[in-house]
Amino acid sequence: MDFVIITGLSGAGKSRAIDALEDIGFYCVDNMPTTLISKFAEICMQSDGKIERVAIVTDIRGGELFQGLFDELDTLKQQNFNYKLLFLDASDAVLMSRFKETRRRHPLLDMFDGSIENAIKTERMLLKPARERADYIIDTSLLSSAQLKERICNIFLDNISNSMLINCMSFGFKYGAAVEADLVFDVRCLPNPFYVDELKMKTGLDAEVRDYVMEWPQSQKLLKMIEEMLDFLIPLYLDEGKSQLVVAVGCTGGKHRSVTFAENLYKYLSEKGNKVAVNHRDILKH
C-alpha cells in the first residue's frame, strides 16, 4: 500500500497537494491528529486491498497533539510499515503574502498578538525536525497551482516504492534560487540565446535554441562533465535510500540555457533506465 504523510508550513499548499493526490486515486484525509496515524495505517492495511493508496495531512493545526508525529513515525518504522513523508515549504515573504491575500488566520496567530511574521517563524522552527526527516520536499514559493500538481504527479503517480525519482529542473536565478534542489548547476557562463534576436522569444524546448546552446564546445564539455558526475553520485544516493534527487540547472531567466540542459539531462538519465521527471519552473515567466 502507498501511504503518504503530508505536512509543512501553513499556507505552503498542503490542501492543493492533497487535492492533486486525490485526483490520481489516493484516499485522502485532511487534518488528522498525529496520535491516530499508526492506528489509521493499520486499519487501511486490514482493508483487504480495498484501500491501496492513502494520503493524510497532519500539521500544526493539531496543536500539542502534533508533537506526537515523530513517535508515530517511529512506530510505523518499527512495524516495518512503508510510508513517505512529503514536506511543503515556502519562503516567509510568500507565506505572509498568501495569508494577507486569503485573509485566513494562521493557526499560531493568537500566540503572537496577531503577528503573522512571528507565527510563521515559530512554526518553521517547530517543523524543522519534520523537514529534516522528509522523503520529499517541495518549495512552492514560485510554483503555480498547475506546477505543484505536476510535481505531485511526477512523484506519486507511479508506485512510490519504485526506485529514486530524479527530478531535472530548470530555473532562472533572477526569480530566486531552487531551494529544494540537492544539486545545482549554474550555466550562466555559457553563450546566451537571449541576445540572438530570432531566439529571444523562444525557449529551450525549441530545437533552434537547443542547437544554439549546444553548438559551443564549452556547452558540450560542461554537459558531459555533469553527466559523469551524476553517473558517480546516483548509485551513492540510491545506496543511502534517498527517495528523490532534485537536479536543478539555472540560468538568468530560466528559459533558454537551463531548459536545454535540463532536457538533455532528462533524456540522458531516462535512456540509462532511471526514473526521471523534468519540469521548468520559470519558463512561462516574463
Cell of 263: 532536457
**Boundaries of every domain in the chain:** 2-156, 165-280
Cell of 18: 492533497
- pLDDT one-digit tens code per residue, 117-167: 999 999 999 999 999 999 999 999 999 988 999 899 888 887 555 568 899
- pLDDT one-digit tens code per residue, 173-205: 999 999 889 999 999 999 999 999 999 999 999
CATH code, residues 2-156:
3.40.50.300
Return the percentage of the chain with pLDDT > 90, whole number.
Answer: 70
Q: What is the pTM for the complete model shown?
A: 0.79
For the chain, how many helices (H) and strands (E)?
9, 9
pLDDT band for position 1 (cuts 50, 70, 90) = confident
Q: Are 170 and 283 in contact (CB under 8 A)?
A: yes
Q: What is the C-alpha radius of gyration for the chain, rounded to an integer number of angstroms?
A: 20
- pLDDT one-digit tens code per residue, 7-64: 999 999 999 999 999 988 899 999 999 989 999 999 988 888 788 899 999 998 877 7
Would you say residue 240 has pLDDT above 60? Answer: yes
Q: What is the mean pLDDT of the chain?
A: 92
The residue among 166, 159, 165, 167 whose CA lies nearest residue 26 is 159
Q: What pLDDT shows up at residue 255?
A: 97
